[in-house]
């Protein structure tokens, strides 16, 4: 179901600009498809690959965008003040649109950034054209460190060497390559190895506690707290601070020999806004409002858990000014609790 709230006359940009100033993300889901199927995948609030594998009648939304439409939405968002753009999926590099979208980006500018989030398995084969795109950061999901854990978590026969080679391929062409790792029982025995891998290559890494969704409820027992990795990091460094300002969950930030290690820790709170106050699913929400998501099907969504809050923006693609107003209006309506 899509919300049909029109752009607001005399748009108030305050909420959107505040969201951007608090490091809010604009996430662009190029495709819902992926070549692996991690059990915890939320697929940016679309039907995730593991669910489709189990039940072929559960398919993700039908795509409506080509590369030009994606670029129109991205440019409108940047024009509206959303400077931190993240490209997600699915796996973005499985899409035939990825090359045209990423090579068609305007420079991010001094206060902006483009980040590609990838599982790493297709970086090497696309390395030639990726070397020409204006990405500021590539973030590789490394939730596993062996063939066994890769299969257990992602349900794939692809070997872990393919992912690790993707990390190296990214490092060959980008200055900023980072890792992210979801903490879970299936990889608990490998977390320190993943940390050592990152530190050896001087790559930042983010360890994340599981965010529960309707899609992963049957595996909720796999979630593990961040306590062990926090204790271990405290044996490596005394350089620790907490960050609770901004959007999303609070995080603990460690610096080990100059390398930043983040731990997304639910004990530090979350950023809930107006709409969250009366939300029926708030008791299981640990993130609050931290990202505005544009999907391949022409929707705009502020919350992973509330598909009913999606806004249809396809009809605004031929009017970038109205599209930017719609972005601002949707953020305002969400933060004021009037959606």
Contact 299, 312 (CB under 8 A): yes
- Tell me how far apart the alpha carbons of residues 316 and 80 are, in angstroms, rounded to a whole number: 14
pLDDT at residue number 3: 45
pLDDT at residue number 7: 43
pLDDT at residue number 200: 98
Angle between helices 147-154 and 160-173 (to 10 degrees): 100
Contact 30, 97 (CB under 8 A): yes
pLDDT at residue number 269: 67
- Tell me how far apart the alpha carbons of residues 78 and 327 are, in angstroms, rounded to a whole number: 10
CA distances from 321 to 11, 85, 111, 193, 325 (A): 11, 19, 21, 49, 6
Beta carbons within 10 angstroms of residue 10's beta carbon:
5
Q: Which residues contact 83 (CB under 8 A, 6 or more apart)?
A: 20, 108, 109, 111, 112, 113
pLDDT at residue number 277: 78
pLDDT at residue number 110: 85
Contact 169, 127 (CB under 8 A): yes
Sequential pLDDT tens for the chain (339 residues)? 444 444 445 678 898 998 888 888 999 999 999 999 999 998 998 999 999 999 999 999 999 999 999 999 999 999 999 999 999 999 999 999 999 999 999 999 888 999 999 999 999 999 999 999 999 999 999 999 999 999 999 999 999 999 999 999 999 999 999 999 999 999 999 999 999 999 999 999 999 988 767 667 777 788 899 999 999 999 999 999 998 866 667 899 999 999 999 998 877 767 777 777 788 887 777 677 788 999 999 999 988 888 888 999 999 999 999 999 999 988 888 888 777
Rounded to the nearest 5 degrees, what angle is found at the Cα of 174, between the Cα atoms of 172 and 179?
95
């Amino acid at each position: 179901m899509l919300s049909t709230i029109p752009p607001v006359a005399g748009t108030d940009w305050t909420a959107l600009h505040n969201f951007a100033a608090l490091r809010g993300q604009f996430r662009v889901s190029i495709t819902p498809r992926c070549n692996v199927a991690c059990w915890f995948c939320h697929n940016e609030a679309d039907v995730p690959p593991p669910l489709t594998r189990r039940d072929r009648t559960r398919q993700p939304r039908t795509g409506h965008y080509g590369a030009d439409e994606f670029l129109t939405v991205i440019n409108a968002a940047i024009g509206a003040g959303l400077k931190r753009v993240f490209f997600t999926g699915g796996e973005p590099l499985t899409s035939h649109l990825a090359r045209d979208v990423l090579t068609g980006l305007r420079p991010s500018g001094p206060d902006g950034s483009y980040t590609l989030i990838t599982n790493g398995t297709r970086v090497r084969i696309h390395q030639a054209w990726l070397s020409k795109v204006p990405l500021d950061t590539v973030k590789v999901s490394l939730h596993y460190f062996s063939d066994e854990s890769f299969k257990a978590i992602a349900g794939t026969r692809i070997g872990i060497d393919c992912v690790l080679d993707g990390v190296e391929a990214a490092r060959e062409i980008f200055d900023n390559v980072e890792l992210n790792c979801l903490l879970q029982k299936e990889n608990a025995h490998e977390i320190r190895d993943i940390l050592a891998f990152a530190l050896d290559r001087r790559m930042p890494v983010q360890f994340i506690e599981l965010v529960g969704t309707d899609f992963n409820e049957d595996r909720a027992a796999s979630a593990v707290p961040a306590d062990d990795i926090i204790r271990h990091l405290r044996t490596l460094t005394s350089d620790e601070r907490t960050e609770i300002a901004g959007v999303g969950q609070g995080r603990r930030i460690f610096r080990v020999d100059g390398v930043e290690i983040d731990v997304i820790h639910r004990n530090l709170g979350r950023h809930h806004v107006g709409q969250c106050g009366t939300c029926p699913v708030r008791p299981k929400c640990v993130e609050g409002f931290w990202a505005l998501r544009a999907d391949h099907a022409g929707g705009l969504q502020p919350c992973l858990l509330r598909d009913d809050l999606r806004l249809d923006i396809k009809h605004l693609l031929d009017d970038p000014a109205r599209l930017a107003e719609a972005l601002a209006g949707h953020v305002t309506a969400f933060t004021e609790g009037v959606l």
